[in-house]
Every structure is written in structure tokens, then in C-alpha cells.
Structure 1
Amino acid sequence: MTETGSRQPSFGPLSAQECRSRLEAGSIGRVAWNTVEGPQVLPVTYTVHNDAVVFRTAAYGPLADLRHVRRVAFEIDAFDPETRTGWSVLVSGQSRAAAKADELVELWSKADPVPWAPGTRNLFIEISLDQLSGRAIGS
């Protein structure tokens, strides 16, 4: 109890299974990586497929650079300012372009991820789930 009599909210890590569940249930996240100009963070719609975060992008946009293998971070979160609760899940992994024919057929047959941005978005980028961590704060 605090001096005002209210309980302190719980705060701590999410289990690997909780992180995975929240990641699989989500559809919008942010990809972060280093560029020659410095850090870049962009939102994407995504799905989890074959132990990877997968999203579609334009072949010549800023996210297309992730077709080359590189270390990236991917984050999803949810917050409720009114109740002062929330959580965040962070993926650390390698990006790469999905290029195997059977993999692409499977990805194109799924309903997601459908990009919100206009234009042709036919490059699938995968981020491996090398490290998965999360934190939550609640009452």
C-alpha cells in the first residue's frame, strides 16, 4: 500500500508463451533497424507464419532494404491510459525476403498481412523470432 492507501500496480516480465500469444493475436507493429542515416522505425501490418513475423512492402520503399539479412527489432504493444495498464512485446531477429516458391504460395494464400499503405506491396519480409521478451503493467 502507498501513503494514499492504493495498491501499487504489478509490473514485470511476460513469459515466452504470453509474448508469443500476444504476438500471434496482433496485426500492427513497428519494425526498427539501423540505416546509414541512423535508426529507422516504421509501422507495418503483420502476421506470424512459420516462426517468423511476416509483412508485405513495396519492392523499392524504405522497408525493402530489409530483404537483405540484417538484425532488426519488432515491437507490438497496447496501453490504456485511463487504467494505467499495458504491455509490450519485443522481437529481436534477422530480416530476410521470403523467396522460396512454396513459402510464397503459402503466404499469398493467406488473408494477412494486408498492407494499409496504397500501391503494390508484393515483397514479403520475414523476421526470425530469435529473442522474444515482454513486459506488462497492470493493477
Structure 2
Amino acid sequence: MPHRTTPPPPVTRRLSRAESLLLLRNVTYGRIVFISRALPAIQLIPHAMDDGALLTGLPTGIGLTALLTRPAPVVYEADLLDPATRLGWSVTLTGRAGPVADPDELGRALTRLRPWPGRPIELVARIQPELVTGFRTFSP
């Protein structure tokens, strides 16, 4: 008679800062959290890693571009999760976002960022990570 075994349950492990930042290179969209009209707001936006910082493309009309006349605190979250197995990873980055003003840097950033269809990029912002946390859930 065949013997059936139960697969081991998934394992969740915290990620280091370096592992977390490396995983952000694997996806092109995430969610930015910021304060708008004294309330938290969240938007899906494109990103690209650049020398340990996160370049983000901010679409027209999300209410964040006016706040970025000087570096502003933000939270950014990105993940890659399989809804069927619940395996994958999630990374949260907290830092200060400021506009990219240098024309050469702005041009390079715009070639790397993939705007969401119908949501053109109005402003490119660079987030300098201050706190980076993440986790990965996998089958052992």
C-alpha cells in the first residue's frame, strides 16, 4: 500500500536590507504611501533601482508631486506573491522622496521606468532608503 506524505508547511524568513533591495530589481511596480490632505494615500507607480536608491515615476494628478518641492517622507512597498500557493516575497522601504532635476539623470530614468497604461509620468522622484524590511515565504 503506498504511503502518502504531507508536504512540509511553507516557511517565512526575514530578509536582510541587501536581499530586499536586490528583490526590488525583479519587479517594476509597487505602491507608494504618502500624506495627502492630512490623510494617508496610496498609489500604484513604476520604479527602478539606481545605485541603492529607488527611482519612481509619479503620474499626473496623484497629489504627491506638489509635496515634493523638497524631500518628503514616504513608504514604498512592492511584492511578488503567488495567490494560489501564497509563496513569494514582500519588501517595504521607508525614506525621503525628492524630485530628480538633473536633465541627464531624468532622461535615463524615463527610459527605465514603465508607466502604467494611460498614466503618463509627470515627475521622477528618487527615494533614499532609510529603513528597509522584507520577508520571503517559500516551501522548504
1:36–1:85 Cα change, 3 Å: same
Alpha-carbon distance in structure 1 between the residues aligned to 2:122 and 2:86: 39
Equivalent residue letter for 2:19: E
* Offset, 1:106: 3.4
**Is the contact made by 1:74 and 1:92 (CA closer than 8 Å) also made in structure 2?**
yes
CA separation of 1:131/1:118 partners in 2, compared to 1, >3 Å: closer, same or farther?
Answer: same
Give 1:127 shift. Answer: 0.9
Which has the larger displacement, 64-73 or 90-99?
64-73
Partner Cα separation in structure 2 for residue 101 and residue 25 of structure 1 = 26
- Structure 1 residues 28 and 119, CA gap change in structure 2 (3 angstroms): closer
Runs of 4+ in 1 over 6 A off after TM superposition: none
Q: TM-score, normalised by structure 1?
A: 0.81
Tell me how far 1:118 sits from its aligned partner: 2.8
Residue number in structure 2 paired with 1:83: 85
Write the letter of the residue equivalent to 1:32.
V
Number of aligned positions between the proteins: 134
SS in 1 for 2:108: helix
1:88-127 aligned within 5 A: 88-108=90-110, 111-118=111-118, 120-127=120-127
Q: Tell me what 1:41 maps to.
A: 42
How far apart are residue 64 of structure 1 and its match? 1.0
CA RMSD of aligned residues (A): 2.3
Identity fraction in percent: 25
**1:15–1:133 contact (8 Å) kept in structure 2:** yes
Alignment correspondent of 1:53: 54
Distance 1:136 1:98, change over 3 A: same
Partner of 2:138: 138
1:54-90 deviation digits (Å, cap 9, x = unpaired): 1223465423134232111101112113222121001
Residues 39, 6 of structure 1: alpha-carbon distance in 2 compared, 3 angstrom cutoff: same
| C-alpha distance in 1 between matches for 2:119 and 2:9 | 48
